Amino acid sequence: QDNIAVKANAVCKLTYLQMLGYDISWAAFNIIEVMSASKFTFKRIGYLAASQCFHEGTDVIMLTTNQIRKDLSSPNQYDTGVALTGLSCFVTPDLARDLANDIMTLMSHTKPYIRKKAVLIMYKVFLKYPESLRPAFPRLKEKLEDPDPGVQSAAVNVICELARRNPKNYLSLAPLFFKLMTSSTNNWVLIKIIKLFGALTPLEPRLGKKLIEPLTNLIHRFLISLSSGMPNHSASIQLCVQKLRILIEDSDQNLKYLGLLAMSKILKTHPKSVQSHKDLILQCLDDKDESIRLRALDLLYGMVSKKNLMEIVKKLMIHVDKAEGTTYRDELLTKIIDICSQSNYQYITNFEWYISILVELTRLEGTRHGHLIAAQMLDVAIRVKAIRKFAVSQMAMLLDNAHLIASNTQRNGICEVLYAAAWICGEFSEHLEEANQTLEAMLRPKVTTLPGHIQAVYVQNMVKLYASILQQKEQSGEKEAAQEITQLMIERLPQFVQSADLEVQERASCILQLIKYIQKLQIKEVPVAEEVIALFAGELNPVAPKAQKKVPVPEGLDLDAWINEPPSDSESEDEKPKTIFHDEEQRHSRHRQPEIDEEELARRREARKQEQANNPFYIKSSPSPQKRYQDTPGVEHIPVVQIDLSVPLKVPGMPMSDQYVKLEEERRHKQKLEKDKKKKKQKKEKRGKHHRHNSLHTESEEDIAPAHHVDIITEEMPENALPSDEDDKDPNDPYKALDIDLDKPLADSEKLPVQRHRNVETLKSPDSEAPLVEKKSKKPKKKEKKHKEKERDKGKKKEKEKKVIEEEEEKKVILQDLHYVRNCCYGPYLLLCSSVTYDIQGNLQNDSQVTVSVIFENKSTSFLKSMELNVLDSLNTKMLRPEGSSVHDGIPVPFQLPPGISNEAQFVFTLQSIVMAQKLKGTLSFIVKNDEGSTHEKLDFKLHFSCASYLITTPCYSDAFAKLLESGDLHMSSIKVDGISISFQHLLAKICFHHHFSVVERVDSCASMYSRSIQGHHVCLLVKKGENSVSIDGKCNDSTLLSNLLDEMKETLSKC
């Protein structure tokens, strides 16, 4: 396939096939070939194919870097355009890093067509390579005032997009945007800007006031799209809501949808004004379009209050019954639970009602959310103490009717609730009235058809039940009955012992033995109940998820210190498990065999109590009285015994939640009456239970006293919890990386890396190598010429780079990130001219790792493949190899090198000490393939880990710097270098660049600098320039590191 036209055509066809769903990743290399065609026709197709099928995982993508750079700088604007477009689809972090500078240059291209594209691409680049944001931002800001409206709007687009994620960094742009907003006639730009302001206003309240005037002018037009950016202006909000109502009532589905959507946005800020339209929204629930129903549901979520919760949920329940699609029904179910449980059950005034709602929900067929219901049941039962009795009775009923729930294997989603039911019944078995019956229900053979984890819970909780029954019987002296129940257990348990589920089997056989033992004791007429019940002693306390975090670490407590010194190897083995055991004793005691005699148990419990009393972290089991839940006022209303057998299809014995609604109404009515009474007879105080509520709550009519006062948050927090509530951001948020303060001046370290892989250091001049080539190679002369030319080119480049450095210095911007050291390639294999350059960078995440990026460049005319890099590890520094490979194995380089191509691979090294410089010997082996065949070759090299490569450029502010110096625990050392002729600025640049320092402060010919090692050593320098000399005073935590660093510096400086 020599003809590029044929190739391009084939790639074009492949693209079509790709769209039809075929995998064409094998053709990636051909696509690159077509991309690099000089003819626009083919290039275009190549880029199209690339943008369609390349992604971050495509390994050949690295090969395109140079091609893309070439196209970006092409004189033909369409070449550039097509490259930019393609790039937008497959930009990777590496590409972003390498090309950021080029794209930035394009942002001030003469053609608006290119500028526009470049600006938009920058957003992609920012996402992939956040470091580029700060250097590029000034130019981006410039583009806001670009003469071309397209470019302008592109810039607005990008900035809005950035600001949406991290608005506070963009506050300083507000005046500029304000100007744009008042002057622009372009509606689309206006929308963007107003959205941006919507994000900014919460941060700067003054802005809101200023915005009102222009906004009210625009409001009619932008109603829908803007409701997110609405200022706090109640009149306009009212207007909006009115308009939205018209929209929602409209027959057009799209408008209805949008109306609801906008409504939900207003709801967040002005719930009151939306709540009045409840009727309308409930009506939307009946809509036949699912999207609309879902939006309406969203709205309901925000609209509930204590007053209307029951009503809304009741309506939703009706919908649940009616709903046909399972997805929608599941959505309804989750919404009901969400609505009820939102902000810690804030709106639930009657938990009995809630439990019965949950129980009713279990009747849903084929829902996937059984576990959700189960979780809610558990949550409520554990956290709301007052409800336990009721919950237990309900759960017992559920267990009794388990056959209804679990009858169909297809509905196994719902059988999750049995998990909760079994646990609740077991754990709070003291509240159970007919424990015998429940136990029998749990022992039914049918249970074995349930999923394993549920059975396991069954088995465990059977014993709890059994224990409480046993105790009951023994206390009332019914020995016969006690033995009977033991017999029942022994008879039925074997069915679980045979279970295929490991957990069930293990628990069951363990418990079976236990009960057999109990039976023996029972026959001997020994009272056992006490001991059995002791297995499950102790109450479960709810603990808030953040409780541990909120406890301040008491002074003098070092959490990292060893509690016990780790046992030395010489000590006997059995010491260790013992200590662990002691710590966890209490937790284990539940599962332990009763062989432990009671005294021992009691003694331990006593010891633990004392321990707890002294332990500030332990949450005391007796919460302070005012936090206790109030007694249930409506206990007498609980219709536990109201068994509604006449209703078919319903689980018998379940009280309908509707009854609660009625009850609740009654209760409220009563409360109100009493309130009125109270007003009349103010002297009469605290007679009934209801009065207690009244005394606790304010008198406003709005407020409805809840049946159970639940103060979950305070209850579940340890007493000395700190009030600070730091909500941690999601560390995985890709946009977090873009949370960068843009108003700070550019720091030295943030300059975009200019492409400069070669010869930054002049350790060896290329000329000295050239003769070597001549000597050793037997290649035709032509090639040598070429090679020489290359070298000359490099020389030019070097000059250019020097210029760049000087320019940068003028801007006080110093390059540091890249520290490329030319590696000497010697030996007889230079004819391949496979040049290797590398760069060592500290790994920020790991204090004992550095990453070495090696750039391989194939200067020969042969194809290089199967490259493998191996390094002779030293004691201190080791190459990180994949698990299982020995120290003699090399690491394969993940690419092949066609002639003239360079590529980069990264290798990670672990090290222990960083105070000394290191040199590692290594070999690169590879296969050379050319026309004659292939040969195996080797290339030796040395990796030099200088101390400076362990430093990470860290900016430091002068006050922090001063504090550091004051602290006094730094070692000091100094050097002096004579014969320095370069300017001070240049000198600082050199130190920054080669040794990874940043300038803290500079006064005349004196400067302080700072850096930090990957292991956290602080290094401070004071650099003074005299006539012809430079003196450097250094301070560092580690004296060896400091002296090594200074030696390295001396070497660098003595060269200039």
For other proteins, the binding residues in 247-266 under the rule CB under 8 A are 247, 250, 252-258, 261
CA gap 708, 623 in Å, rounded: 16
**Residue 246 interacting with other proteins (CB under 8 A):** yes
Does residue 1055 contact residue 987 with C-beta atoms inside 8 Å?
Answer: no
Residue type (1 letter), 68: I
Q: Does the footprint of other proteins cover residue 216 (CB under 8 A)?
A: no
The residue range among 48-56, 464-472, 671-679, 1014-1022 that interacts with other proteins, by the rule CB under 8 A, is 48-56
User: Which are the contacts of 80, defined by CB distance < 8 A and separation ≥ 6?
Assistant: 71, 72, 73, 74, 106, 109, 114, 117
Tell me which of 51, 436, 509, 612 binds other proteins, using CB under 8 A: 51
Query: What distance in Å separates the CA atoms of residue 380 and residue 397, rounded to the nearest whole number?
Result: 17
Question: How are beta strands 902-911 and 933-945 bridged, if at all?
Answer: unpaired
CB of 146 to other proteins, least distance (A): 12
Q: Identify whether the C-beta of residue 906 lies closer than 8 Å to the C-beta of residue 869.
A: no
**Matching residue, tokens 């017999």:** 487
Which of positions 406-465 make contact with other proteins (CB under 8 A)?
Answer: none
Q: Is 223 in the site for other proteins (CB under 8 A)?
A: yes
Dist CA 986 CA 808 (whole Å): 10
Q: What stretches of 524-550 show up as alpha helix (H) in DSSP?
A: 529-534, 547-550
**Residue 625, number of CB atoms within 10 A of its CB:** 6
Cβ contact 257:292 at 8 Å:
yes
Q: Quickly count helices (H) and strands (E) in the chain.
A: 41, 15
Q: How far apart are CA 805 and CA 993, in angstroms?
A: 10
What string of DSSP letters covers 128-191? H-GGGHHHHHHHHHHHTT-SSHHHHHHHHHHHHHHHHHSGGGGGGGHHHHHHHHHH---HHHHH
Identify which of residues 273 and 612 has a Cβ nearer to other proteins in the complex: 273
69 or 265: CB nearest other proteins:
265
Cβ atoms of 1041 and 915 within 8 Å: the answer is: yes
Per CB under 8 A, does 141 bind other proteins?
A: no
From the list 62-70, 286-294, 387-395, 398-406, the region that binds other proteins by CB under 8 A is 286-294
CA nearest neighbour of 356 among 334, 327, 380, 385: 380
Span from 151-159, 204-212, 426-434, 812-820 in contact with other proteins (CB under 8 A): 151-159
Task: Put the strands of the sheet holding 891-892 in their side by side order.
Answer: 891-892, 863-871, 918-930, 933-945
Please give the Cα distance from 300 to 336 (Å, whole number).
10
CA angle 273, 661, 284 (to 5 degrees): 40
Task: Specify the residue, 57 or 731, whose C-beta has the smaller distance to other proteins.
Answer: 57
**SS3 call for 922:** strand
Q: How far is the CB of 140 from other proteins (least distance, A)?
A: 14
Q: DSSP label at 828?
A: G
Residues of this chain, 2-21, that bind other proteins according to CB under 8 A: 5, 12, 15-16, 19-21
Site for other proteins in 190-209 (CB under 8 A): 191-192
**Least Cβ distance, residue 149 to other proteins (angstroms):** 5
The least CB distance from residue 370 to other proteins, in Å, is 22
d(CA 175, CA 775): 68
Helix (H, G, I), strand (E, B) or coil at 74: coil
**Shortest CB 758 distance to other proteins, Å:** 31
The residue from 35, 72, 99, 121 that contacts other proteins (CB under 8 A) is 121
Minimal CA–CA distance to 397: which of 380, 377, 379?
Answer: 377
Listed ranges 187-195, 555-563, 639-647, 649-657: which one lies at the site for other proteins (CB under 8 A): 187-195
- Selected from 32, 34, 100, 154, the binder of other proteins by CB under 8 A is 154
How, if at all, do strands 998-1003 and 1006-1013 pair?
Answer: antiparallel
145 binds other proteins (CB under 8 A): no
Using the structure block, give the residue that is written with the tokens 């084939």.
10
Find the binding residues for other proteins in span 519-538 (CB under 8 A).
none
How many whole angstroms separate alpha carbon 144 and alpha carbon 147?
9
Q: Which of 67, 80, 98, 123 binds other proteins (CB under 8 A)?
A: 123
Does position 221 interact with other proteins (CB under 8 A)? The reply is yes
Q: Is 57 in the site for other proteins (CB under 8 A)?
A: yes
Residue 878 sits at φ, ψ, to 5 deg, of -135, 145
* Shortest CB 159 distance to other proteins, Å: 11
Q: Residue 56 Cβ, how far from other proteins at the closest point, in Å?
A: 5
Cβ closest to other proteins, residue 266 vs residue 405: 266
For the bound state, the minimum distance from the C-beta of residue 90 to other proteins, rounded and expressed in Å, comes to 7
Q: Closest approach of Cβ 296 to other proteins, in Å? A: 12
Q: Which residues, 739 to 758, sit near other proteins by CB under 8 A?
A: none
Does residue 288 bind other proteins (CB under 8 A)?
yes
The residue from 6, 17, 55, 598 that contacts other proteins (CB under 8 A) is: 55
Q: Is 225 in the site for other proteins (CB under 8 A)?
A: yes
| Burial (Cβ within 10 Å: 0-12, 13-18, ≥19) of residue 21 | exposed
Least distance to other proteins, CB of residue 192, Å: 6
Binding part of the chain for other proteins, among 53-61, 486-494, 877-885, 921-929 by CB under 8 A, reads 53-61
Taking the least distance from each CB to other proteins, the nearer of 292 and 1049 is 292
Q: Which of 103, 107, 144, 156 binds other proteins (CB under 8 A)?
A: 156
Q: Please, what is the minimum distance in Å from the beta carbon of residue 205 to other proteins?
A: 22
Residue 993 has, within 13 A of its CA and on its CB side, a CA count of: 23
CA nearest 909: which of 871, 946, 953?
Answer: 871
Distance (Å, whole) CA 953 – CA 955? 7
Q: Of 126 and 1010, which CB lies nearer to other proteins in the complex structure? A: 126
Query: What is the smallest separation between the CB atom of 78 and other proteins, expressed in angstroms?
Result: 4
* Spatial CB neighbours of 588, under 8 Å, sequence gap ≥ 6: 581
For other proteins, the closer CB: 225 or 954 = 225
Helices 77-90/112-128 angle, 10° precision = 20
Q: Which is nearer to other proteins, 256 or 492 (CB)?
A: 256
Least distance (Å) between residue 87 CB and other proteins: 9
Residues numbered 75-104 forming contacts with other proteins, rule: CB under 8 A: 76, 78, 81-82, 84-85, 88-90
Q: How many CB atoms lie within 10 A of CB 590?
A: 14
Query: Among residue numbers 585 through 644, which ones bind other proteins (CB under 8 A)?
Result: none
Question: Taking the complex as a whole, how short is the minimal distance between the CB of residue 229 and other proteins, in angstroms?
Answer: 11
Q: Which of residues 293-312 bind other proteins (CB under 8 A)?
A: 294
- Which residue in 113, 328, 536, 984 binds other proteins (CB under 8 A)? 113
Q: Is the Cβ of residue 700 or residue 732 nearer to other proteins in the bound state?
A: 732
- Closest contact distance (angstroms) between CB of 157 and other proteins is 5
Enumerate residues 997-1016 that contact other proteins by CB under 8 A.
none
Choose the stretch contacting other proteins; rule: CB under 8 A; options: 54-62, 487-495, 849-857, 895-903: 54-62
Burial class (CB in 10 A: 0-12, 13-18, 19+), 778: exposed
Size of the site for other proteins (CB under 8 A): 78
Contacts of residue 241, defined as CB under 8 A and 6 or more positions apart, other chains included, come to 263, 266, 270, 273, 274, 277
Binding to other proteins by residue 243, rule CB under 8 A? yes
Q: Which is nearer to other proteins, 266 or 1020 (CB)?
A: 266
Of 253 and 449, which has the nearer Cβ to other proteins?
253
In the bound state with other proteins, the residue whose beta carbon lies nearer, of 294 and 493, is 294
Judge contact between 748 and 179, C-beta under 8 A: no
CA 803/CA 760 separation, integer angstroms: 12
Smallest distance, other proteins to C-beta of residue 99, A: 14
